[in-house]
Amino acid sequence: MKVVIVGGGLAGLVTAWRLGQTGCDVTVIDPAPGTGASSVAGGMLAPVSEAWFGEEDRLALDLASHSLWRQFANELEADSGLEIGFKTEGTIQFAFNQDDLRDLARTREFQLSLGLDAVELSGAEVRVLEPFLSPNVLGASLVKSDHSVDNRALVIALITACEARGVEFIREKAISIEFETISDDSNVRAVTTEMQLIPASQVVIAAGAWSSQIVGAESLDVRPIMGEVIRVAPRSGAAATITHTIRGTVRGFPVYLVPRAKGEIVIGATQLETGFDIQPTAGGIFQLLRDAREVFPYLSEMRIVEIMAGLRPGSPDNAPLLGPIANHGGLYAATGHYRNGVLLTPATGDVMLAYLTGGTVPEYARAFTPERFTSLSGARG
């Protein structure tokens, strides 16, 4: 069995690694593995603070993946010999005024009603945990279980672990999938790149926001949703930083600050639907810096390391597309992870391994096949 994976972001890499561990013949095609959304992301592993009314099905998937994270991190670090910056201090959701406090109380009630953890903190209690937050923070929720990871370190560890397991990387752009049709059945035969034809018995489309370009939106409906981030770091000798992920809204705009090693912080993230353009905008960067400084005034003293934008792969219902693609034998999707692709990395690996090797697909993932959209459009005629 030869599996070809188109796209070497977190979704493609984790699938390749899991298959590589079983001794399977795996090739990843990507002109620049690990340079998509997976290296731009904030790295939050935050099912609880991302939980939202009406999205309980996706929450179950998020929680399932979250529960796999600690073991996954240990296994990947051992297999790659690299650290991935898995941090378990938790997340603080802040409030600046009475309206924010009411919103936070409502969210906390929802979180607790689902059996999730969230603890109310006064402004003074918040500053005991994070002394450099603004004195204007009136209160907060502490979500101990919402963790984070250094997603760039994660990408590098996965590439290293894949290579150690014999996964082949072809640094070219895939152009199309070739099929052979025998009577009514259409089965994958190969992937065509700009340079060559690569035979395959199974193909996984894991090209993030670009996935529809390869197989067409009628088979895989994924669109790009741009997000901007800024990385800042302390100037030499400075000690003020944060240890928890800090998130909330400032004048209605969402903002988060995710701490990394050596006092570095990732500030994110905007949401723009501007096609495949990934040039950061002045307005987006201004908004993020303005709002992040409001909650963490010391930001003014830090140096800017990088300003970046990436494309989240968005699906029609904001949930991932994991599993077989209708009407094409041997063709699978691992895409559409939208805002949660880092969180969903362990589950994506397990679920795709099950589909590709004929194993038992975990119950939590069965509702997320791409076929949920094709059968819907078929039913509508």
Applying the rule CB under 6 A, the residues between 286 and 325 that interact with ligand FAD are 310, 312-313
From candidates 72, 169, 210, 296, binder to ligand FAD by CB under 6 A: 210
Residues pairing with 272 in the sheet: 226
Applying the rule CB under 6 A, the residues between 323 and 362 that interact with ligand FAD are 335, 337-343
Applying the rule CB under 6 A, the residues between 260 and 289 that interact with ligand FAD are 268-269
User: How far apart are the C-alpha atoms of 2 and 16, rounded to whole Å?
Assistant: 11
Applying the rule CB under 6 A, the residues between 130 and 149 that interact with ligand FAD are none
From candidates 37, 162, 200, 292, binder to ligand FAD by CB under 6 A: 37
Query: Rounded to the nearest whole angstrom, what is the least distance from the CB of residue 42 to ligand FAD in the complex?
Result: 3
Q: Is residue 96 within the footprint of ligand FAD (CB under 6 A)?
A: no
From candidates 12, 90, 139, 259, binder to ligand FAD by CB under 6 A: 12
From candidates 3, 4, 9, 95, binder to ligand FAD by CB under 6 A: 9
Q: Is residue 232 within the footprint of ligand FAD (CB under 6 A)?
A: no
Q: Where are the beta strands (DSSP E) in the chain?
A: 2-6, 25-29, 44-45, 91-95, 119-122, 139-143, 147-148, 168-170, 174-182, 185-193, 197-199, 202-205, 223-233, 245-250, 253-259, 265-268, 303-314, 321-324, 331-335
Torsion (CA) 346, 350, 352, 356 in degrees, nearest 10: 150
Please tell me whether the peptide bond between 217 and the residue prior to it is cis, using omega within 30 degrees of 0. Answer: no
From candidates 20, 47, 123, 227, binder to ligand FAD by CB under 6 A: 227
Query: Rounded to the nearest whole angstrom, what is the least distance from the CB of residue 185 to ligand FAD in the complex?
Result: 26
Q: Is residue 76 within the footprint of ligand FAD (CB under 6 A)?
A: no
In the DSSP assignment, the letter for residue 361 is P
What is the C-alpha R_g of the chain? 21
From candidates 4, 7, 346, 361, binder to ligand FAD by CB under 6 A: 7
Q: How far is CA 48 from CA 158, 318, 379, in A?
A: 26, 16, 35
Residues pairing with 293 in the sheet: none
Q: Is residue 69 within the footprint of ligand FAD (CB under 6 A)?
A: no
Whether 10 and 158 have beta carbons less than 8 Å apart is answered as yes
From candidates 8, 224, 280, 284, binder to ligand FAD by CB under 6 A: 8
Amino acid at 345: T
Residue numbers at the binding site for ligand FAD (CB under 6 A): 6-12, 29-33, 35-38, 40-44, 173-174, 206-210, 214, 227, 229, 268-269, 310, 312-313, 335, 337-343
